[in-house]
Structure 1
Amino acid sequence: NRMSNLIAAFVLALQSTPTTIPPPIACAGSNFSQFDFWIGEWDVYPNGTNTLIAHSKIEKLYGGCAIRENWMPLKGLGGGSLNSYDPETERWHQTWVGSAPGRVEFEGGYTGGNMVLTGMWANVNGPNQDALIRMIYSPQTDGSVRQHGEQSIDHGLTWTTSFDFIYRKRQTLSSKQAQ
């Protein structure tokens, strides 16, 4: 009888314990996934060449609320960016910090299958030579991503290419051996 009382008490305790439901992911939804095509470990090449210039690791973090880039050039010092979608403004933001003092703030959005971010980069062309920088990230049919950077020194009236990179999925030793 004592055993059945203990079992009844245990069952009653289980029934009265509130079920813990995990909180929903705060940054879920299609808008938060617009830049996911950039996530991965990449080898980076100037467009049209097979000359490796950098590695880049792009990862989604913080419950899906941010995408972090770690830019690792083969020559020189690296940098990185933190990217996030703001549901209030419906805009994407990127903060770039590199090996030079200061940071660059970019803003933009997803349009036509591309991510387009623009920001004013102080001293990018030398002391007191600022430029408006526009970066267009485009997923390619072969799984790579093109990052085409343009600059304008006349507030967006004219644009010239400042960099044009292709991010190719990084080849691991085992994937190279399988080829």
Structure 2
Amino acid sequence: MIATFASLLILQAASAQPQPASPPSPPNGCTGEHYREFDFWLGEWDVYRAGTETLVAHSLIEKLYAGCAVRENWMPLKGAGGGSLNGYDPQSGGWKQTWIGSSPGPVYFTGGATDGKMVLTGRWKGSGPKGEDGLTRMTYSKLPDGAVRQHGEFSADHGLTWQTTFDLIYRPHKEGP
């Protein structure tokens, strides 16, 4: 009887304890127009050197985290892959990209949408045509046929002059034979 009474007292004390608050409702996500500025790049792509039929990579571009991020999974046919995480920053009013690839350390880009294109610029160690350090500017643009062009340029003089270092065309992925 004493054991039963003690059990009842313990149960009563436990039920009197304040219950933890229910978890907060998830946010509505990133649904404003700025968060959709890079959506033209979403998809599963076969990537070619511009002006050629030379396939150089496959790339999967996904929208994640309640629409707040765009993630690239870069899968080249030769060499190591890499990826980027992109997001609109409402505090700065621009976009930020972090690229991590086969070279040590991340590369950070900033920029934004201009005339329907996404332009991102960052300091990328060793990215010059002769392996020199400098700025890399990437311009992503949707082409009339639904493909996306990624035009990369390099500047060794802090953006005064630019030279093309890569020019890629992302075409919708087609299953092989």
TM-score range, shorter chain: 0.7 to 0.9
Offset at 1:91? Answer: 0.5
Distance 1:149 1:33 in 2: 22
The alignment partner of 2:55 has SS state of coil
Query: What whole-Å deviation, never above 9, does each CA across 1:141-171 have from its counterpart, x for those lacking one?
Result: 1000000000000111110000000000001
Out of 72, 78, 87, the residue aligned to residue 90 of structure 2 is 87
Coordinate RMSD, CA, aligned: 1.7
The aligned counterpart of 2:64 is: 61
Give the fraction of aligned pairs with identical amino acids, expressed as a percent: 61
Aligned to 1:156: 159
Aligned equivalents of 2:148 and 2:100: distance in 1? 21
Match of 2:143 in 1: 140
TM-score by length of 1: 0.81
Distance 1:125 1:161 in 2: 10
Following TM superposition, where does structure 1 have runs of at least 4 consecutive aligned residues deviating by more than 6 angstroms? none
What is the SS of the residue equivalent to 1:48?
coil
Q: In structure 2, which of residues 39, 43, 47 is the aligned counterpart of residue 40 of structure 1?
A: 43
Distance 2:103 2:141 in 1: 27
C-alpha separation in 1, matches of 2:167 and 2:143 = 14
Aligned residues: 153
Q: Does 1:73 align with 2:54?
A: no
- The one-letter amino acid paired with 1:55 is H
Equivalent in the alignment of 1:8: none
Distance 1:101 1:23 in 2: 35
Q: For 2:101, give the aligned amino acid.
A: G
